[in-house]
Structure formats: C-alpha cells, structure tokens
Structure 1
Amino acid sequence: MTMTDEPLDRALDALHFDHGDRPTLRFVTCGSVDDGKSTLVGRLLYDSKLLLDDQLSALEAESSIAGSSGALDFALLVDGLQAEREQGITIDVAYRFFGTARRRFVVADTPGHVQYTRNMATGASHAELAVVLIDARKGVITQTRRHSHILGLFGIRHVVLAVNKMDLVGFDEDRFTEIAVEYRLLAEKLGIAHVQCIPVAARDGDNIFTPSARMPWYTGPTIMAHLETVDVSGDVASRPMRFPVQWVNRPHAEFRGFSGRIANGTVQRGDAVTVQPSDRRSHIARIVTADGDLDAAVAGQSVTLVLADEVDVSRGDVLTSGAPPLVSDQFSAHLVWFDDAVLLPGRRYILKCGSATTGAVITTLKHSVAIDTMEHQAATTLAANEIGCVNLSLDRPLVCEAYADDRALGSFILIDPISHCTAAAGIIDFALRRASNIQWQTLDVDKTVRARLKQQKPCVLWLTGLSGAGKSSIANLVDRRLCELGRHAYLLDGDNLRHGLNNDLGFTAEARVENIRRVAEVAKLFIDAGMIVLVSLISPFRSERDMARSRLAAGEFIEIHVATPLDECERRDPKGLYRRARAGQLPNFTGIDSPYEAPEQPEIVLDTAALSAEAACERIMAYLQDHRYV
C-alpha cells in the first residue's frame, strides 16, 4: 500500500476537468466496525439512481443470500472482496464514483477494524472531507478518536458526523445532542474546524437524500444536501506555485518538457520559475496538455511545462514561483505507523514525498500520542497503528512544506528497504535547520596521507554472526597477524565496548540499533586515521549493517559472515548464554527469541563448524592481500 494511487489520480483528473461545470468532492467514510459506513455509501449510490438494472438485480439476489429478510443490503454495493462479504466487514479501501446534478463525488469507504487503520489513513490522504459514522448506541469510542486524530493529522478540516442507527435508540434527540457535543469538543482539540452533525438511519435512508419524517426535531441538511453545497476549496489557487516534476517528457530531440500535477497556485505562460533544490531559474515557454496549449493552469491540473532555457531538471525536482519552499535534509514530523515490524530509531528507510525519493533515518522518537486522551507519552518505539512525533534526517535536501501549508509537499511515506512494504505515513511539521556556526572542518592531513604513512589501505572488517560463532577469536587472530606484519589495526569488540562507550545500552531492538550506530561512527573515525578496523559484533539486523556500510566509501567496508549454525553455537555455549536464554533469564537473545538476519551478499563467508579459527584467519588475510589492503 502507498499513499499515492496513479490510476485513481488519473480518474480524478478526468472527473475534475472533463466536467468543469460540476466540481468533484473527494471524501472518506470512517468509523468503527459495524457502524454502517458501507451501508451509508451503498445508500448514496442507490438513491443517486446511478445503478444499472443488472446491478439492482444482483443486489437483490445477494441481499437474499446474505439473509437480510427481504430488505436490500446496501453494504454489498461497496464490499467487493469475498472476505468482506463473508465476514460482513470492510477490509480494503473501496473507491466509488457517483454524481448528482450539482456535483461529482469520489468516496473512499475505509475499514473500521484497528488492524486496518493503515488502510483508513490511505483513504484519508486523498480526501477533502470526511464522513465519520458513530453508532448511536455506542457513542464516541476509541476507534472514533483514532480515526479523527488521523483526519486532523492529514489536514481534513471538514467533517460530517453521521450519528447512525438512530432507529435503535428510538430517534432520541437528547442522545444525538449528547454525542454531537462530545464529538465537537474532540474535533476542536484536533483542529477540525467545520463539523456538521446529522442524525441518520442509513439502512432506511433517513436524512441521507431526504429529510426524515421520524426525526422532525432535526432541521439541518441531509447528508447529500451538505455534500452538494459544502465549500472545501480553501486557498490552494492563491498560494505560491508548486509543481513537482513527475516525468521528464522527451518524445523526440525537438521537445523537452516536464510533466506533473500543479500542487498549489497558478502558472501562466511567461511566468518566471525557479527549479528547486538547485535554485536554477527560467521562464515558462509553453503549457502543454493533450487538448492543446494553455495560457494558464491552476492547482489540480496535470500539464507539461516547457521552459525557455536549457535547464537541468529531473524527476523529484519542484518548479516554484512566489515565496520559496522549504529545502531541508532534516525535519520534524508526525507518523502513523503501518508496519507490523516496530519503528526503530536509527534504522534506514526510503522516504517518498511527492515525486522525490531519498534515504531517511528516524533520528529521534520524541513521543507517542495516546489516542484516548491525546496526551504525549514517552516512547522508544511505535507499533502498528500507533501515532508518534519524530525527527528525520535525509540523505539529501528535500523540497518540502509544512503540511499545514501544503498537503502535497508536506506529506510522505516511509518504505522498508528490505521488505518494500510501506512502513508509515507522515506529515511534516517544520524543518530542522542545522546550526549555522557548525561546519565540517577540512583538514590538510586526511586519511589518504595517513594511510600512505602506514603503507596500507584503510578498511573495516565487520564480523557478524551468532553468539558463540567464533567472531572474537577470529578477529583477535587477524589483529595479531596484522601487528606481526607491521600494519596498524584496532579491534572494536562488542563486549568490550559495552564496558565503556555503550554501557548505557540494553539489548532491546532499539538499543541494538543505537549500539551499531555508535560503533559505525567510531569505525569511521579509525578509517579517517588510516587504520584497518576489526569490528566483532553480533549486529543481527541487516539494515544496521547496511547503515554502517553507507557511512564509508566504496571498498572500505568488508562484511564477514561467520556463518556457524545455531545448533553448533548452542552446543559450544562458551559463556553459558544460550542455557540462560533457554531458561528465560536473557530476554531478546539473538537466535532464541530475537531474530538474526543473515547477510545477503557478504564479501567473506566463514563456517567455523568446518573451519578452525586459524584457517578462518588465513582466509581473511588472503582476501586483504589479494585486494591490496596490506
């Protein structure tokens, strides 16, 4: 799952621009399980009279099979997956398109189960308005708060509160008022400025298209009347122009344009524009569309811009005019965590913002957010569906905005580089600017000079493997051999480091990440000193070893997998650690109740079940000599 959906985007373009007399409203439905979201959407589709005869016949047949006692089960119009129909729940995000004489609509019906909160966040990321359903019997519950918090995070400022199943509380006005007051207080705390509360019975159509005769005390608009007239336009057209480049359009040598969708503002032929982050400048020569050239285009339109000058522009760059955007490699953000694997500060992810992609590290988890109370809580990690505030550091500067100012350039997703799953969706709060008085000090004597003096090529020999595999023994022998050859080396042993530099760290997943980060930074300093560095660490996570490799130049990181099988390591058990782990005395012990991710392409593989420590040492020395490190 991602936060962008190109087929949906193309459909939205067609809806918005091919029928300019009828604007398009994108909205999301959310709420807890069995609050009636799919029924409400199905009722909207049914009452808009856009269903074909065969669809109506299929609905009648399936409603009969579903056992709805002759009444139409409108949820079946939306619940498309077989698993949804079997269980009577929504799992995936279901997009539906319909319209009236006044407006066209794109609705995202999202799941209510906690484990599918990530899908709800995906639907919310496209929406301009949300319909929040509440079961009149249950009132405002935890899932209502969770979904509303996500709506607030994603900048949705218009909410229709549909208090459903009013027939099951006797159409009680006092009950409706009680729920409406409680939700308005919640919305105010979340920054949701516009809330329209409507009592409904979605199954029967009360206050959906037509006013309910069973609730004469309610005199406000129906669901459809509000959706047809609500103004969600905001001020995107009046903001500074932002055009993320999605594609460099070069069909032949005589044409070079830049394709994408205008995120904010207006662009006209002849306008001066700046390419960010390079800060190069040019003018708009043409605004090209499939239907011909335009004199001007506005936010939301997909166009190809042709510049007057031969300027270097790539996918991920942003063409801008007016006030400049933020360009930063560090920022503070809020995350909705999606991945079943927990967030670990220090672990690397791939960040996608607009059309730009870069590597990113969550440097700090500042706090998590308690859904029930919205209080900030101390946290060392986030689990699936939790919300937190973090600082991120990027591999390169990113053209971005605070989400409150620009939804397109202020939102992003994080992707796990190993599984390629979407780990989180985030919104940018503000850029973190580096202290202007701190700069990298260039030194005349660098690692090249120091390595020449030592007559060696600096490198890191990173030995990874299970406890008891023989890493320290092998590293000690290699260190001694290098000393005998007159080479300058130093051994960073994991146990020794925990007596000093890392004595404040435990053995949780997040502590292991920080342990590796510190060792990698120390190893980098030794490389700068022209040394050969031996690192003996279990280092169980592949992403952290990749992080250590990324800190160094090509050829400076040599990964050595001491690939001794678990049963052999446990048989040796030189420190009695496996015995204690099996007895439950050592939680998070690698290989027992904490995973070890074996290297995929190590430079050297050593199995000490078949090799002695001395033979393993000779193999490493042969590698160093063959590659001219010594």
Structure 2
Amino acid sequence: MSTLLRLATAGSVDDGKSTLVGRLLYDSKSVLADQLDAVRRVSEDKGLGHVDLALLTDGLRAEREQGITIDVAYRYFATPRRAFILADCPGHVQYTRNTVTGSSTADVLVLLVDVRKGVLEQTRRHLSVGRLLRVPHVILAVNKIDLVDYSADAYEAVAEQARALASGLGVDLHTIPVSALAGDNIVERSERTPWYAGPSLLELLETLSPEDVADADFRFPVQLTIRPQAAASGFEEYRGYAGRISSGRVAVGDEVVALPSGRRTRVVGIDLFGEELPDAVAPLSVTLRLADELDLARGEVLASGTPVEPTQDLDGTVAWLGMRPLRAGARVLLKHGTKTVQAMVRGVHGRLDLDTLTPVAAAALELNDIGRVELRLASPIAAEEYASSRTGGSFLLIDPQTGENLAAGMIRATNVDAFAAGDQLDWVI
C-alpha cells in the first residue's frame, strides 16, 4: 500500500509555483481530459502559444485575471508508489498567512526560486516559516533553468546561496534544477542537465518519509461525549468519547490519563462505525470507552507515554496574520487541539529580522511578522513543546469578537514565569 505524503509549494511571485504544480499533475497523468480541455481553451483565449498549466490550480477568477495565486489550492494525485495531498500556496507577501496555513500540516515544503533572481526576502520568509513549523523536509526547486541555457554555474550559485541560508536556520535542504514550463526534472530526469546527477522532483517526493505520528506518544483530544440511548438507537447504552487520535496508538486494556484533571483509567473498548477494534493508530477517528465514568468535556485529552504537565503559561513563537498589530495586553482566544480558552498576551519579546535571520527588539507584531510572545491562559491546557510534538505544540490565536484567525503559534516552553531582564532577544525559532 502506498503511503500518503502531504506537500506544500511556496516561493516569490512569478517564480512558477502554479506552473510547476500543473506540470507535476500533467506529467504524472493526474489531469482529467475535460480539465485539460478547459485549460487549453482558456490558454487559447488568452493568446498563449502553449497550454498554461498554472490554470490547473489557479481556480479563482481574481487569480486568473491578476496572474497570481491568492488562495491555497489543494490537489490530490497518486502514483503507483505513493498518494499525495498538495497545497499550492500564494507567493505574494500579502498572502503569507495562507502559506502558513498550507505548510502547517505538510511533510514536505517545495520552495521555488527563479534562477535569474536567486534568494529573495520572500524566499527567506518561506524558509523561515518552514523551519518554524518544523516541516520535516524542504526541497529547493531552482526554476526556469531553461532561461539561462541550462547553466550549471547559474544553478550552483543559487543553490549555494540557499544552502548557506538553510544552514543558518538548521534546515536540511535538497536542491533540484527544474523548468516547470518545459518539464525538465519534474517527473523525468532531463537530458538537458547532464551535470545534475540527482533525482527528479517526483522521484524525490516518492522516496521521502512522512512524519510518523503513529510512533509518538498517544494523544487523543476529546471532541464529543457520546451516550446513545438503547431505546432510540438499538445499541446497548454506554458512554463513549469520540475524537481523532492525534498521535500514537491505543489498545484495549491500555492505561490512560485524562488531562488536565490527571485522573487515570483504562480503555475497555474502541469503536469505529459500530465495529469494535482491538487497537487503533493515528490519525484514525474513533470512539473510546473507558473503565471509569469520567466527566470529560470537549478539549480534554486522553494520553499515555511521556507525562504532560497542564499549564496556563506559554512561551510561544507566532506567525502574526492579523491586520492590526499585536501588543502586550491584547485579549484573544487560544485554540489548542479541540479546546478553546481565553488568553491574554503578557508580552511581545521581539521579532525575526528576515534579512539577517536574527531576533530584533519589537514592542508589537505587524502583519506577517514572526515573533516571540508570552501568554497567560484562563484555564490549563495539555501543552507540549512544538520541538517534540507538532500536534501537541501548536495553537491558533483567534479574535474573540469576529472569530478571525489572528496567528499560528508554536509552543517553545510551558510553565514559564515572566521573562527575565535581558532575555528578550535571546531566542531562536
């Protein structure tokens, strides 16, 4: 059985992300005939001498009119070796928030650069976001290699520039010379780059390993308490807790702890659509039956393995997505797993300078800034450090009045006191 790989594309405006995605879908024979016919007609109407494969992903009318990607476009395709979920993210700085969304669940980030322009500020921003979100694999696709006559020197100059940047961030980077328009090194290795001995983009994507959440500690955020009545449903009356296993595995007979209460119990049943299972593994959605009748509400977590200490104080790094600046004293909602709690920003402790990749002083975070904040929560959550768990260490900040997502956050530390003097700039992603 093929494994599922989630990938996201990112890059600066006009670097060719949508064209690369379209080429990947087309050359892997993942485009339906009617889709291709529609794209061909639109290309002819625009007076192009070729089929504009970018139209396979730029589905919004505003995107086609402006020639840029605005929304995150999700596409599903498969090869004999693997199934893929692909998120084509915007390149314009105004839509960096959408890039954060598309990359948040990705196993691989494919970052495009124009070989003629090299590494730009938006390249730095996207690579920083990839590091911030702990995306396991990053691929640099040096695009438009056909426009420099397939020059090995031009490719290597850009690749070396990117490797130096990635090294400073601690990112393991793969680099590939490609032409999304001509199809070089996208699905098949190109004869026009004999100096490149590595795999094509698709060959590399088929061999990279996705993040294995099944081998992590068991975590089960409760979404709903289910109590079917025997007379109405025909089932034996029982109490079950429904949700999605965010990490790890569980079996009947396992001891689990309910967080934040700390009460312990055993799993006596695992149900899936009326069928009883002996065990279950992430990311399966199931209903768990417990030996004891615990009063579990939405947002509480059943866990085993490494202990988790519930906390009301967080030290986090956030990618700020709100139009208005974030300042100390702001009151927000924090969503962690299935739990939403009130929170207050106790302090803003610097932002990342994307030119130097070093923290600088900042009293507020502006749109698309990446910065460090200190939060105080109204009630405890089962928080984990993002470095050890992407699921248990991530959160959202939400506007309590409008419900708008304000920030994507990553937990650096829990149970922290007020920041010590002089510590404001002493942080890394």
**TM-score normalized by the length of structure 1:** 0.64
Query: Could you say which residue in structure 2 is the equivalent of 1:448?
Result: none
CA distance in structure 1 between the partners assigned to 2:40 and 2:416 by the alignment:
61
> How large is the RMSD of aligned CA atoms in angstroms?
1.3
Query: Could you say which residue in structure 1 is the equivalent of 2:340?
Result: 357
Amino acid at match of 1:289: L
Indicate how the Cα distance of structure 1 residues 291 and 371 shifts in structure 2: closer, same or farther if over 3 A, else same. farther
CA distance in structure 1 between the partners assigned to 2:362 and 2:263 by the alignment:
42
Structure 2 unaligned blocks of 5 or more:
231-236, 419-429
Amino acid at match of 2:286: V
Query: Could you say which residue in structure 2 is the equivalent of 1:303?
Result: 286
Identify the match of residue 264 of structure 2 among 274, 281, 303. 281
Matched, 1:251 2:228: yes
Matched, 1:209 2:187: yes
Amino acid at match of 1:240: D
Query: Could you say which residue in structure 1 is the equivalent of 2:3?
Result: 23
Any conservation in 2 of the 1:336–1:387 contact (CA below 8 Å)? yes
Identify the match of residue 391 of structure 1 among 374, 380, 383. 374
Displacement of 1:434 in angstroms is 5.1
Any conservation in 2 of the 1:156–1:192 contact (CA below 8 Å)? no
Instruction: Look up the SS of the partner of 1:184 in the other structure.
Output: helix
Instruction: Look up the SS of the partner of 1:155 in the other structure.
Output: coil
Query: Could you say which residue in structure 1 is the equivalent of 2:219?
Result: 242
Query: Could you say which residue in structure 1 is the equivalent of 2:306?
Result: 323
Any conservation in 2 of the 1:265–1:299 contact (CA below 8 Å)? yes
Count of paired positions: 412
CA distance in structure 1 between the partners assigned to 2:77 and 2:65 by the alignment:
26
Query: Could you say which residue in structure 2 is the equivalent of 1:115?
Result: 94
Displacement of 1:305 in angstroms is 1.1
Indicate how the Cα distance of structure 1 residues 137 and 434 shifts in structure 2: closer, same or farther if over 3 A, else same. closer
Q: What percentage of aligned pairs have identical amino acids?
A: 49
Amino acid at match of 2:350: H
Amino acid at match of 1:155: R
CA distance in structure 2 between the partners assigned to 1:332 and 1:434 by the alignment:
9
Instruction: Look up the SS of the partner of 2:340 in the other structure.
Output: strand
Query: Could you say which residue in structure 1 is the equivalent of 2:163?
Result: 184
Identify the match of residue 37 of structure 2 among 54, 57, 79. 57
Query: Could you say which residue in structure 2 is the equivalent of 1:196?
Result: 174
Displacement of 1:175 in angstroms is 1.4
CA distance in structure 1 between the partners assigned to 2:137 and 2:77 by the alignment:
20
CA distance in structure 1 between the partners assigned to 2:278 and 2:284 by the alignment:
13
Counterparts in 2 of 1:406-445, with a 5 A limit? 406-433=389-416
Identify the match of residue 23 of structure 2 among 23, 43, 60. 43
Displacement of 1:48 in angstroms is 1.7
CA distance in structure 1 between the partners assigned to 2:408 and 2:392 by the alignment:
13
Any conservation in 1 of the 2:353–2:359 contact (CA below 8 Å)? yes
CA distance in structure 2 between the partners assigned to 1:139 and 1:265 by the alignment:
41
Return the structure number with greater relative CO, CA threshold 8 A, min gap 6. 2
CA distance in structure 1 between the partners assigned to 2:404 and 2:240 by the alignment:
32
Query: Could you say which residue in structure 1 is the equivalent of 2:149?
Result: 170
Query: Could you say which residue in structure 2 is the equivalent of 1:556?
Result: none
Structure 1 unaligned blocks of 5 or more:
1-20, 436-630
Matched, 1:231 2:209: yes
Instruction: Look up the SS of the partner of 2:175 in the other structure.
Output: strand
Matched, 1:134 2:102: no
CA distance in structure 2 between the partners assigned to 1:233 and 1:147 by the alignment:
20
CA distance in structure 2 between the partners assigned to 1:46 and 1:275 by the alignment:
48
Query: Could you say which residue in structure 2 is the equivalent of 1:143?
Result: 122
Query: Could you say which residue in structure 1 is the equivalent of 2:422?
Result: none
Any conservation in 2 of the 1:350–1:414 contact (CA below 8 Å)? yes
Q: Deviations over 1:215-249 (max 9, x none)?
A: 11111000100111111234x33322111112222
Displacement of 1:423 in angstroms is 1.1
Any conservation in 1 of the 2:270–2:287 contact (CA below 8 Å)? yes
Amino acid at match of 2:75: R
CA distance in structure 1 between the partners assigned to 2:179 and 2:87 by the alignment:
20
Any conservation in 1 of the 2:315–2:416 contact (CA below 8 Å)? no
CA distance in structure 1 between the partners assigned to 2:253 and 2:296 by the alignment:
18
Displacement of 1:183 in angstroms is 1.2
Amino acid at match of 1:241: F
CA distance in structure 2 between the partners assigned to 1:299 and 1:404 by the alignment:
19
Any conservation in 2 of the 1:157–1:191 contact (CA below 8 Å)? no
Displacement of 1:68 in angstroms is 1.9
CA distance in structure 2 between the partners assigned to 1:323 and 1:309 by the alignment:
22
Any conservation in 1 of the 2:57–2:73 contact (CA below 8 Å)? yes
Indicate how the Cα distance of structure 1 residues 233 and 340 shifts in structure 2: closer, same or farther if over 3 A, else same. closer
CA distance in structure 1 between the partners assigned to 2:405 and 2:155 by the alignment:
39
Q: Deviations over 1:95-139 (max 9, x none)?
A: 000000010000000000001000000001121110000000000
Query: Could you say which residue in structure 1 is the equivalent of 2:56?
Result: 77
Instruction: Look up the SS of the partner of 2:310 in the other structure.
Output: strand
**TM-score normalized by the length of structure 2:** 0.94
Query: Could you say which residue in structure 1 is the equivalent of 2:427?
Result: none
Query: Could you say which residue in structure 1 is the equivalent of 2:421?
Result: none
Displacement of 1:291 in angstroms is 6.8
Matched, 1:157 2:157: no
The structure whose residues are more often strand, as a share, is 2
The structure whose residues are more often helix, as a share, is 1
Q: Which stretches of structure 1, 4 residues or longer, exceed 3 Å deviation after superposition?
A: none
Query: Could you say which residue in structure 1 is the equivalent of 2:330?
Result: 347
Displacement of 1:286 in angstroms is 1.1
Any conservation in 1 of the 2:348–2:364 contact (CA below 8 Å)? yes
CA distance in structure 2 between the partners assigned to 1:24 and 1:226 by the alignment:
14
Q: Deviations over 1:386-445 (max 9, x none)?
A: 11101100001111110111111111111111232111111000113459xxxxxxxxxx
Displacement of 1:290 in angstroms is 2.2
CA distance in structure 2 between the partners assigned to 1:246 and 1:36 by the alignment:
40
Instruction: Look up the SS of the partner of 2:326 in the other structure.
Output: coil
Q: Deviations over 1:251-306 (max 9, x none)?
A: 32613211222122211111000000001111111111127222111222221111
Identify the match of residue 218 of structure 1 among 168, 174, 196. 196
Amino acid at match of 2:184: D
